[in-house]
């Protein structure tokens, strides 16, 4: 079979499985209601956990882990919203949900702008101008630099802009990318981090800088410390740093690590969904999967069946994974870490 025929059969069989699931459990047809319940439940869980931490009844590490998990759920809600899967007919509720999931995950890019970047990703996944995936280190060799910038979409993103722009110019010259789309992608990449994403990252830069300087000051009696007004600002922002930013840093590193290594890059055949992703379930990825709601287990399904909610993907993942495996979608291709996420081995 051609890759188009395989893709068509995968979509048909997974959609049939979803149809049977919804037929057996009609509650899944109440898509807006379920999305809103999960959205509100996650926010309440984050709020209660943060409150008990503030009262000293929960340790900081436990609060960070719990909040990171539910922020991972909110990321899935945002992803569904980007695909207009909740309240498409009620724009007020839809945009309110999109705003809240962004504010509770401020290290991420503007979701309204991300919608354009994400839809471009679906259309051109794995290409040199798939800027959404490249922004989270997809396609780079595994070095200390990649590890350090995996969660950082500001400084990390700026560090790779030069290479990305050169590649986009090549794509335009080769006729694989329209000039106006190239200009739009460049503009949106900058606009997507202004101002909330930049501010949130800068706060963390100062937070970790303060910790490092204090360590050297106490250990080696160095004289380098942050100015007092910055220390006072960090004290004032302490609750936000611990309840929102640090859990998001854990969540974002986990998500970017999983997504950048389950997507293939650079040598993907144009329009071949079979080569765009793999299913990543190997046991040692579990800690990372936990904070991105097991993204590696189910995201490949999404590339074949786009307009379905994340909870349906998870509930129906066993059958869907059987279908993917039957038609040759890769599972746990760990060679991707050595190949800089290329689909083929070019040695």
Please name which of 334, 238, 235, 215 lies closest in space to residue 279, comparing C-alpha atoms: 334
Confirm if 246 and 277 have CB atoms less than 8 A apart.
Answer: no
pLDDT score of 54: 98
In this prediction, residue 341 carries a pLDDT of 98
Residue 312, domain member (yes or no): yes
Q: Cβ(151)–Cβ(256) under 8 Å?
A: yes
Q: Does 236 score more than 80 pLDDT?
A: yes
Residue 172 lies in a domain: yes
What is the mean pLDDT of the segment spanning 50-57?
Answer: 98
Q: Which domain holds residue 265?
A: 3-337
Tell whether the model's pLDDT for residue 67 goes beyond 90: yes
DSSP three-state, residue 263: strand
pLDDT in tens, 133-181: 999 999 999 999 999 999 999 999 999 999 999 999 999 999 999 999 9
Q: Is position 236 within any domain?
A: yes
Average pLDDT, the chain: 97
Report if residue 345 sits inside a domain.
no
Q: Does the structure show a pLDDT above 70 at 63? A: yes
Report the candidate in 331, 267, 270 with the shortest Cα–Cα distance to residue 296. Answer: 331
pTM of this structure: 0.97
What letter does residue 29 receive in the DSSP assignment? G
Whether the per-residue pLDDT at 346 is higher than 80: the answer is no
Position 254 scores a pLDDT of 98
Q: 3-class SS at 331? A: strand
Determine the Cα angle at 251 with ends 246 and 255, to 5°: 150
Q: Is residue 192 part of a domain?
A: yes
Per-residue tokens: 52: 């008990």
What is the tens place of the pLDDT at every residue in 91-146? 999 999 999 999 999 999 999 999 999 999 999 999 999 999 999 999 999 999 99
Number of domains in the chain: 1
Whether pLDDT at 295 is above 70 = yes
Q: How confident is the model at residue 272 (pLDDT cuts 50, 70, 90)?
A: very high
Q: What is the pLDDT of residue 347?
A: 60
Q: Looking at the predicted structure, is the pLDDT value of residue 223 above 90?
A: no
Q: Residue 89: is its pLDDT beyond 90?
A: yes
Q: Give a yes or no: residue 342 inside a domain.
A: no
Q: How confident is the model at residue 276 (pLDDT cuts 50, 70, 90)?
A: very high
Q: Is residue 346 part of a domain?
A: no
Decide if 343 is inside a domain: no
Concatenated DSSP letters of 265-281: -SSPPTT-GGGTB-B--
How does residue 216 score in pLDDT terms, banded at 50, 70 and 90? Answer: very high
């Amino acid at each position: 079979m051609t890759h188009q025929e395989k893709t068509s059969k995968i979509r048909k069989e997974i959609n049939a499985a979803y149809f049977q699931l919804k037929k057996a459990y009609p509650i899944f047809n109440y898509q807006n209601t379920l999305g809103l319940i999960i959205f509100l439940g996650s926010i309440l869980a984050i709020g209660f956990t943060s409150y008990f931490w503030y009262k000293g009844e929960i340790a900081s590490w436990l609060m960070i882990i719990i909040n990171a998990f539910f922020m991972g759920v909110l990321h899935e809600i945002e992803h569904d919203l980007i695909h207009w899967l909740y309240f498409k007919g009620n724009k007020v509720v839809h945009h309110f949900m999109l705003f809240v999931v962004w504010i509770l995950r401020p290290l991420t890019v503007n979701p309204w702008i991300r919608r354009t970047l994400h839809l471009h990703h679906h259309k051109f996944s794995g290409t040199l101008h798939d800027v959404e995936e490249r922004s989270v280190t997809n396609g780079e060799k595994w070095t200390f630099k990649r590890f350090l910038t995996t969660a950082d979409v500001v400084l990390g993103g700026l560090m790779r802009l030069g290479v990305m722009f050169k590649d986009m110019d090549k794509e335009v010259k080769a006729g694989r990318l329209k000039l106006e789309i190239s200009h739009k992608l460049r503009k949106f990449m900058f606009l997507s981090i202004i101002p909330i994403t930049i501010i949130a990252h800068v706060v963390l830069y100062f937070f970790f800088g303060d910790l490092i300087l204090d360590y050297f000051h106490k250990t080696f009696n160095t004289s380098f410390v942050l100015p007092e007004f910055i220390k006072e600002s960090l004290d004032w922002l302490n609750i936000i740093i611990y309840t929102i930013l640090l859990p998001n840093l854990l969540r974002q590193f986990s998500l970017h690590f999983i997504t950048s290594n389950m997507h293939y890059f650079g040598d993907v055949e144009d329009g071949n969904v079979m080569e765009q992703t793999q299913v990543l379930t190997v046991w040692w990825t579990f800690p990372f999967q936990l904070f991105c709601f097991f993204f590696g287990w189910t995201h490949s399904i999404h590339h074949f069946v786009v307009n379905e909610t994340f909870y349906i993907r998870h509930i129906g993942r066993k059958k869907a994974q059987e279908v993917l495996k039957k038609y040759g979608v890769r599972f746990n291709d760990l060679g991707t870490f050595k190949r800089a996420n290329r689909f083929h081995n070019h040695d």
